[in-house]
Structure 1
Amino acid sequence: MADPIDSALDLLRRLNPKDVKRNVDSLISLNPDLTEDLLESVDIPLSVKKCSKTKRDFLCCDYNRDGDSWRSPWSNEFEPPVDEGEGVTPSDRIRKMEVKANEAFDVYRELYFEGGISSVYLWDMDDGFAGCVLLKKSVSPSPKSSGSWDSIHVFDAQDRARTAHYKLTSTVILSLGTDSEALGGLDLSGNMVRQIEQDLVVDDDSSHVANIGKMVEDMELKMRNLLQEVYFGKAKDVVGDLRSMDLRKKRGRRFSLTEFLGIPPLSQTNRDRATQREMISSMGR
């Protein structure tokens, strides 16, 4: 008999990535024993909560969750509050780095995303520390179109002599959708996971924040370019093939619309204009 968690993950891989949160909730309702394993194994779009103390929004994931409460990176308190002695919070040293990292990525978010929400969470480890950087932006240009970008960067840093070894695992969840009478419905959703390891120089705790920021920035740029090439590049190729297929069958080769209408190509038009200008210039002289 198959392991229930393996069967659940196998099923999720075959369903629409856009509905992953709803599908995970449905599986949990069917088998509550899978709750922890599913939440730890499946990346779902980030949810948003508001810090009651600072009135700032923050992102929720499994790394700042304790039961049904989530720790705010701005106040270091749980929403809703937990009983005294419950809820894991970072040590003073790690908390100071967490505050600096949140300030740095808040600037990064504004520069690269021009909006959205960011949150950074750190926690202690025996040989260093670990953490996650969360970024989310959702847009709705019209009532029938929407898009969202969720990036989850999980890392651990192992302290060494004057250096640190970083391991970064990045996940980007992209969702685009539109529904109109002219074009019909379109749903483009999916996720991408990449991993990298690096050894970087460390002078003090501020160096950790700078190193992590550089790694996340480089990784997001690479993944954005890959997503653009895979999703939009492939869609462009398919549309190009569809709209030129009948013309190739008729003529056996590609030809331009200007050629079909009897309009001279641009290079010929430019040569004619250059000749005309030369003649006018000669007449003026």
Structure 2
Amino acid sequence: MRRLPPQNMEENLSQLIDLAPHLQDDLLNNVDQPLKVQRCKVKGRDYLVSEFNRDGDSCRSPWSNEYDPPSMESPVPSPKLRRLEIAANEAFDTYREMYYEKGVSSAYFWDDDNDAFAGAVLFKKVGEDGRKMKGAWDSIHVFRATERGRNAHYKLTSTIMLYTITDRDETGKLNLSGSMTRQTEADYPYDEPQAHIANIGRIIEDMELKMRNSLQEVYFGKTRDIVNGLRSVDSLIESRKQAEIQKELVSRLARREKDLGKAKQNRSDT
């Protein structure tokens, strides 16, 4: 599933569940799907829908803490963790504006045990340029924070799903897509609940930068090399002219070296 196009993930997952219905729970829990955008009816703000805020057919808004459609028995974070979740959503909304300019972000926290809690920080940006270009970036960061005295230990699993589709005269049809998953662990000082937000933001920022650089250098760089090796943007006539000029320059340099060699030989004979 990680090697199939992210934009077709939902359809492929549905077909796979039809083939192996006994694996439905495992597949839904382990296969990352592209995020969906939904609007909070109470606060009037967009939020992201994923398995981290879904309970059955209802989805919880991080802005109002209410489910849509309403569900009285669905889980919600404790009051203490809810206050931290509200602050995290405001902080990561600023982060989204700085790094993505547009798009949607959401953060969801849930209680784990007495000394730990877990959460997910999500980002999605969709770009379209009419019918000639479209693409999407989905970042899914799932973490677990464990308090250890004055320090906190964080374990992060990050997944990025990216696709870009173009159909232009100069490039033709191009569909480039894929996903990447990385894990990391870190310890940071902890003295108050709000420190968790800064620590989680730091580790997510570092991870996103590393994954973005890897995508740019390895995947897009390799694709660019392959395309440049297969197809040139210059016309065939210009390429032939440059080849003839290069051949003529090489020939003249060879004749000049030959003439210099003869002149040196004549001087030595004299």
TM band (smaller chain):
0.7 to 0.9
**Alpha-carbon distance in structure 1 between the residues aligned to 2:135 and 2:17:** 26
How far does residue 262 in structure 1 lie from its aligned partner after superposition? 8.1
Instruction: Tell me: CA distance 1:60–1:236, structure 2 relative to 1, closer, same or farther (3 Å).
Output: same
**Counterpart in the other structure of 1:44:** 33
Distance (whole Å) between structure 2 residues aligned to residue 165 and residue 30 of structure 1: 41
2:81 alignment partner, one of 94, 97, 113: 94
Say whether 1:164 aligns with 2:133.
Answer: no
Q: Please, which runs of 5 or more residues in structure 2 have no aligned partner?
A: 233-240, 250-270
Counterpart in 1 of 2:164?
176
- Distance in 1, matches of 2:137 and 2:2, equals 19
Decide which of 34, 38, 42 is 1:53's aligned counterpart: 42
In the other structure, the counterpart of 2:212 is 224
Identity over aligned residues, as a percent? Answer: 54
**Secondary structure in 2 aligned to 1:104?**
helix
Alignment partner, residue 23 of structure 2: 34
- TM-score (norm: length of structure 2): 0.82
Q: In the alignment, is the contact (CA less than 8 A) between 1:163 and 1:200 conserved in 2?
A: yes
Question: CA 1:154/1:13 → structure 2, altered by over 3 Å: closer, same or farther?
Answer: closer
Kindly provide the amino acid, as one letter, of the partner of residue 160 in structure 1: R
CA distance in 2, matches of 1:205, 1:92: 13
TM-fit CA distance, 1:114: 0.5
- Counterpart for residue 198 of structure 2: 210
Q: Which has the larger radius of gyration?
A: 2
Matched, 1:65 2:54: yes
Q: 2:122 aligns with which of 114, 134, 152?
A: 134
- Matched positions, count: 240
Match of 2:264 in 1: none
TM-score, L = length of structure 1: 0.78
Q: Is the 8 A contact 2:6 2:34 kept in 1?
A: no
Alignment partner, residue 173 of structure 2: 185
Partner of 1:106: 93
Instruction: Give 1:32 deviation, angstroms.
Output: 4.5
The CA distance in 2 between the partners of 1:66 and 1:157, in whole Å, is 23
Quick one: distance in 2 between partners of 1:110 and 1:145?
Answer: 23
Q: Is 1:79 equivalent to 2:68 in the alignment? A: yes
Gapped regions of structure 1 (runs ≥ 5): 1-11, 245-254, 264-285
Larger displacement relative to structure 2 (172-181 or 189-198): 172-181
| Alpha-carbon distance change, 258 to 226 in structure 1, aligned in 2, over 3 angstroms | farther
2:104 to 86, 110, 117: 117
Find the aligned partners of 2:135 and 2:160 in 1 and give their Cα distance: 13
